Structure 1
């Protein structure tokens, strides 16, 4: 199953966002895999600062449980200063509808 979504960076935070993801914590990688996520890509539109995410997941319900893990909550707190977030520091995230996919 493919999941796509968008988020938004604060101005001037492009390099910091990339740096933090290039140094992604091993526990975060493990949590993503344990909750059925793989082939995860995040791209940036530098004009709008919109981040576009793509991830392949095994099951929507299994993946949704990843949000409540302590490591995910820690990651949200770590990223809150560089991107738009909700009151609980989760990223403001909008799911996108997949209209076409070719393997």
Structure 2
């Protein structure tokens, strides 16, 4: 992945985090994985990342989430969460609309 792609992913995660705080949405792993799944699939469908970059992009998101919760998730679990994110092909635009309208 390029530096530009990495920055795009981190910026979109930061928008998601700010939006959840502003709207008092719980910053939970379940909510995050639904967002991350939709975002990764949107990126892939828009050719912003390639199929081979999906896992790496998911790891960037998961590491960002982990930092947001005080780095409580182990490295092994981060990989499993990234694999879970890329195993799902759904896109929930209601989760993505707030970050793209900011």
TM-score by shorter chain over 0.5: no
TM (norm. structure 2) is 0.31
Structure with the larger strand share: 1
Structure with the larger helix share: 2
Larger Rg: 1
